[in-house]
Chains A and B, each alone.
Chain A
Amino acid sequence: MSASRSIQTISKLAFIAAVFAVGSFITTVQADPYYTWQMENFKIKKPLGGLKGNAERGRQISIAPDKGSCLNCHAMPIPEEPFHGNIGPSLIGVASRLTEGELRLRVVDEKQINPETVMPGYYRHPKHFTLVAEDYEGKTFLTAQEVEDVVAYLLTLK
């Protein structure tokens, strides 16, 4: 009785351990690859990884404090949010000033344009970062998909 109990416990533990092992295996295997990108004439013409953005998601990412949080620094046509920063220029109508490729470069790595900028490089290569907290080591600020979502949203700001 007690022997079968302990066997049960052991097999339960083994099962849990296996789940954890598989879990961590999956996360390491599925960690987002870094898609290399090319800048030409201060534009990134091709979508990162050939991904297709979703403007509605991009709008949410622009608001979310732990994501793009573009509202921290920019005014945007997002009336339900009471506070918009004014560190950067207003993005209202930005798509009539900048092309898709120009917008993508600005979201990916504004430092290519202005090395002294305060704006984060949302898809800057992590090798450039110093003293990064453990949880974020080797990771870009946004994923390639999130960048494409934001670009898709910016393109609606005519």
Chain B
Amino acid sequence: MNHTGMINPFIKLICTILITYWIGSAAYAQPPRSGYEFLTESTREMQDDEFANPGMVAVERGQKLFNTPGDSGKTCATCHGEDGEKLNPKKIAQYPVFNREFDEPFTLQKQTNLCWEDQLENAPLIDDSVDAVALETFVRHQAKGETVNVDINGPLKPYYEAGKELYNTRVGQLDVACKHCHDYYAGKKSRGQVLSQGQSNGFPIYRLGTGRITSLQRRLRECFVSFRATPFDFGAEEWINLEVYLHGRGNGLKIETPAVRY
């Protein structure tokens, strides 16, 4: 009697720990799955219908910017073809890339901002401003259906590793890391919300919860705030590293920009 009373809690404990690690390692071994697979039928339909997808507003805004002449007289279309027909979807799907000239990783938004400033000679776009996100959304939309293909073994490797470390670091008063929700519990419910793997292939996404087009960095800042953690500033190297890691972790997924998510 006494004997079983002693053993039971101990066995329960070991089981809990083993099961958690087992779930964890099983999730690591799982192939990447798009957030799309975890959506309700009606949200999927909204994303799939170009007329119903509210993210298309940002694509259209980006398209206008793409065809608007800058102070240099050039438009983005001058180099990339009318409505981006000369953009290579395969190359877009490789972002973030390592920029040798600047000797640092370049996210797609950083690249579009650079062209805006250097080629069009416009006043710089503010990181994550409505226009910067619209331009990024339009460009990434050109690669919809393309396979995410980030080279994480070349010069991006150290940034990828740093991003992975942040992904696995507990932050905030909630004291959780990304892996605790997205690697261990994808498919489980957090109140009514189904947890996905936290993949980045749909970004910029339209968020039903906030009613706005949302870049990956803005989403990460929103996550941090919900853990009662201090988010890094837009453009901070921590976010860039995490962006490199998330896109690389999602290699093989299809680009869905603009995806619709909660």
Binding site for B on A (CB under 8 A): 41-42, 71-73, 82-87, 102, 111, 113-114, 116-118, 120-121, 124, 126, 128-136, 139, 141
Contacts and interface: CB of A to CB of B under 8 A. Distances in A.
Contacts of B13: 42, 113-114
Contact of A87 (B16, B172, B175, B189): B189
Contacts of A85: 188-191
Contact of B173 (A84, A102, A141): A141
Interface of B: 9, 13, 16-17, 20-21, 24, 169-176, 180-181, 184-185, 188-192, 195, 224-225, 228-230
Contacts of A72: 190-191
Contacts of B176: 118, 120
Contacts of A134: 230
A120 B16 CA distance: 16
A82 to B, nearest CB: 7
Q: Report whether over half of chain A's contact residues are helix, strand or loop; otherwise say mixed.
A: loop
Given A42-B13, A102-B9, A118-B181, A132 B189 contact: no
Contacts, number: 87
B13 to A, nearest CB: 6
B8 to A, nearest CB: 9
A132 B169 contact: no
Candidate in B17, B170, B173, B230 with the most chain A CB atoms within 10 angstroms: B173
A111 B229 CA distance: 19
Nearest to A109: B175
B223 to A, nearest CB: 12
A131 B230 contact: yes
A118 B17 contact: no
Contacts of A139: 173
Given A114-B16, A124-B175, A133 B21 contact: no
Given A73-B190, A85-B191, A117-B20, A130 B169 contact: yes
A133 B225 contact: yes
Nearest to B17: A114
Given A120-B175, A133-B230, 12 more contacts: A42-B13, A73-B190, A87-B190, A113-B16, A114-B17, A117-B20, A120-B173, A129-B172, A132-B173, A133-B172, A136-B173, A141-B174
B171 A121 contact: no
A133 B229 contact: yes
B234 to A, nearest CB: 16
A102 B229 CA distance: 29
Nearest to B229: A131
A118 B177 CA distance: 8
A154 to B, nearest CB: 16
A86 B188 contact: yes
Candidate in B17, B175, B229 with the most chain A CB atoms within 10 angstroms: B175
Nearest to A69: B191
A82 B225 CA distance: 25
**What 6 A-B pairs have minimum CB-CB distances, sorted nearest first?**
A83-B192, A118-B180, A83-B191, A136-B173, A131-B171, A131-B229
Contacts of A124: 175
Contacts of B175: 111, 120-121, 124, 128-129
B192 to A, nearest CB: 4
A134 B175 CA distance: 15
B9 A42 contact: yes
Nearest to B174: A120
Nearest to A134: B230
B188 A132 contact: no
Candidate in A71, A84, A118, A129 with the most chain B CB atoms within 10 angstroms: A118
B80 to A, nearest CB: 39
Nearest to A73: B190
10 contacts: A72-B190, A84-B189, A87-B188, A113-B16, A114-B16, A117-B180, A126-B173, A131-B171, A133-B229, A136-B228
